[in-house]
Chain A
Amino acid sequence: MTAQLLELLSHPLGQMITALAAIMVFMAVNGMALQYAERKVAGFIQRRPGPYEVGPHGLLQPFADAGKLISKQLVAPLGADRLLFWIAPLVSVAPVVVCFLPIPFSPLLTGMNINLGLLLILAFSGLNTLALCLAGWGSNNKYSLLGAARAVAQSVAYEIPLLLSVLAVAFQVGSLDLAAIAASQTQGLLSWNVLVQPLAFIIFFISGIAETNRAPFDLPEAESELTAGFHTEYSGMCFGIFFLAEYSYMVVVCAVATALFLGGWDGPVFPGPWWFLAKTFALIFAMMWFRWTFPRVRFDQLLNICWKWLIPLGLANLVATAAIVKWVQ
């Protein structure tokens, strides 16, 4: 029985299904943990305790929030396109699950061994834009529509520098397989790509923040301009799903950055997956730190940063990398 089960699990399809289930659990836990962490970081930066009352040090606060979100009534506004309105949260959360598949937590611990892992993540993370569009359009709300328009322009623009920086690393390693790229940086700190490709790392991280709509690039949900942007009209768990998707994308971006630039599972003493998680969460902490420090940029400035700085720099970096790779060969 167990042998059969093991065999089933070791089958690629079985492995994938197991991985998908595990990823969903991970996403849920992660969403709650990150939400708690974000509040605590915000609290400490603002010299207050953050959530404190529910459970010891407010540890149960995420559960209380989840309970609240689940029990709230789901309301679709009058005149909304019901189909699009309800489908949008699903469209936003479903691709993230796939995005987790090729992330190598260790040489063995990965959802799916695919040699195009990087491409897979890039392809499916683009779907988030679509979800925001549908949400914005389906809500029959002007704020939502403006938020959606901003979201599209922003993510389409920032996808380019993101791709450029990723490509530079892919050129250097000669693979689109995240595990292979991570494995190429396991010869100690100096082999990490963050030291080899610092510019690409910076570009990737900035674009990643923009792609996940985090402050200071959180224009699609700029609350002082558009109240809540594309999710103005969402209540209850539908909002919760958007929220979950946003935090999961954060993890994906940071995990990819870890695999690409920070040596993946490389690290002494502790087993690889812990190092991978530690690096990922360190990057997430940096994102939170940014959020609670900086004002929001304006829309044209956002695009200027992308077109005038990130894309030229990314291109230059890419060309230089290609030249050096060719020369070394």
Chain B
Amino acid sequence: MSQDVNSRLTGDFYTAPFGPRLEPDGDTLVLNMGPQHPATHGVLRVVVELDGEYIRRAEPVLGYIHRMHEKMGEVKTWVQYLPNMGRVDYLHALAWNWAYVGAVEKLMGIEVPPRAEYIRVITCELNRINSHLLWWGAYLLDLGAFTPILYAFADREHIMDILQMVTGSRLTYCYYRFGGVSGDVNDEFIRRTREFVADFKKRLPMYRALVTDNIILRGRCEDIGVLTPEMARRYGATGPVLRGSGVAYDVRRAEPYSIYDRLDFDIPTGRKGDVMDRYEVRMAELDQCLRIVEQALDALPTGAHIHPDLPERFIPPKGEVYYAVEGARGKIGVYLLSDGGPKPYRVKLRSPGFSNLSLFAELAQGTLLADAVSILGSLDLVIPEIDR
């Protein structure tokens, strides 16, 4: 059987790294997890070499939903590229919106009205809660708990309703515009957001009782996939994955953009860097998101939601720009190169998931298959964002 597999795999570019060591010594089993597999949330393929249930090597294989977002940026005008941003990471679409819009604003020197900044913060943080909730549910689904994801969806529904009121969509938002946001928020939005914040604060203890304190979950998370800060740095991990290892790096604090320097929030960090720490960091971030939303709602100024006199056509001057924001998965960076034409000359998107996934090969080595699933889940991967 193993030889058969071997001959079938030799033609495959991606198994080449397994190369000579793929030679079976009777004990190992090369297993394809994905591209269609319940644990990979999308079309990620992981080639694993198993010794019994232990993983000798794991190799993530990308590219199954590569949609050439970067190349698309070069054939669309600056404005037309906006809707692409909601599709790169469909779970935290507004952060990507923000990263691109912010980059163009920086390049063209467009000033954003304060009201728009606050609206952006509120909606972006709500979207972050949304993303973390989905991660929470999906991660528990990976661990075999079926029910939490539906509780998470019940809460997500409220956020989606709120965001739908201002953006009109429920998942792939295209809400931010150069110089502001596309629509103003009304009192109804503010009222419902406040309501949600109050409700969600009451829901969080239930989450803790049902899942976080559960001994089975703790057994599946504690001391698994320990990521040292040194290793996280080496791979360029960001976001909760990095913070779980105890490095308090958050773009919102390290390179404050928008009005984040005026807001008071903590950056939760872990200590050991295991799966449980990454889990706890995300759960703690839910609290912080609520804090930020509350503060921003209190301080929401009046005024225009978009810069009043914007040019008819957006043609930035020659030059290059890099703008980074903190997404739910980590640092989202957009690099733009303008040649002064109607379209970007080059678009480079730095997705946090890509760096976080690259950790997996090293983290999964020597773990049990079940732990690898847990580790993969704890990295909070959104495959379209990795492939772009």
Contacts and interface: CB of A to CB of B under 8 A. Distances in A.
Given A42-B146, A227-B38, A298 B217 contact: no
B150 A47 contact: yes
A150 B29 CA distance: 15
Interface in B27-52: 29, 31, 37-39, 50
Contacts of A42: 146-147
Interface string A283-305: 00000000111111111110000
The interface size bin for chain B is 20 to 34
A222 B144 contact: yes
A224 B146 contact: no
Interface in B191-229: 210-211, 214, 216-217, 219-220
A46 interface: yes
Nearest to B372: A225
A295 B154 contact: no
A142 B31 contact: yes
A298 B220 contact: yes
Nearest to B142: A224
Nearest to A215: B144
Given A42-B146, A46-B150, A227-B37, A295 B140 contact: yes
Contact of A300 (B37, B39, B368): B368
B150 A297 contact: no
Interface in B125-175: 140-147, 150-151, 154
Contacts of A31: none
Contact of A294 (B53, B141, B150, B214): B214
Contacts of B50: 146
Nearest to A228: B38
A246 interface: no
B216 A294 contact: yes
Given A47-B150, A296-B143, A301-B219, A224 B368 contact: no
Most chain A CB inside 10 Å of its own CB: which residue of B140, B145, B210: B145
A223 interface: yes
B42 to A, nearest CB: 14
A231 B1 CA distance: 19
B370 interface: yes
B144 A295 contact: yes
A299 B143 contact: no
B369 interface: yes
B147 A293 contact: yes
Contacts of A215: 144
A299 B144 CA distance: 13
A82 interface: no
Contacts of A223: 38, 144
A45 interface: yes
A83 B369 CA distance: 30
Contacts of A295: 140, 143-145, 211, 214, 216-217, 220
Interface string A204-243: 0000000000011011001111110000000000000000
Contacts of B216: 216, 294-297, 301
B154 A47 contact: yes
B220 A297 contact: yes
Contacts of B369: 146, 225-226
Contacts of B108: none
Given A222-B370, A225-B370, A46 B220 contact: no
B89 to A, nearest CB: 22
Contact of B145 (A219, A293, A298, A301): A293
Contact of B147 (A146, A216, A226, A292): A292
A294 to B, nearest CB: 6
A215 to B, nearest CB: 6
Contact of B146 (A146, A150, A292, A301): A292
B148 to A, nearest CB: 9
Interface string B339-372: 0000000000000000000000000000011110
Contacts of B39: 224-225
Contacts of B37: 227
Contacts of B217: 295
Most chain A CB inside 10 Å of its own CB: which residue of B142, B146, B217, B220: B146
Contacts of B154: 47
Nearest to B146: A292
A48 interface: yes
Interface string B36-79: 01110000000000100100000000000000000000000000
10 contacts: A42-B146, A47-B151, A222-B144, A227-B38, A291-B146, A294-B144, A295-B145, A296-B370, A298-B371, A300-B368
Given A224-B141, A225-B370, A298-B219, 15 more contacts: A48-B150, A143-B31, A146-B31, A150-B53, A222-B144, A224-B39, A227-B38, A293-B145, A294-B145, A295-B140, A295-B216, A296-B145, A296-B216, A298-B370, A299-B53
Interface of B: 1, 29, 31, 37-39, 50, 53, 140-147, 150-151, 154, 210-211, 214, 216-217, 219-220, 368-371, 373
Q: Which 8 A-B pairs have the closest CB atoms?
A: A296-B144, A46-B150, A295-B145, A295-B143, A224-B39, A224-B142, A298-B370, A223-B38
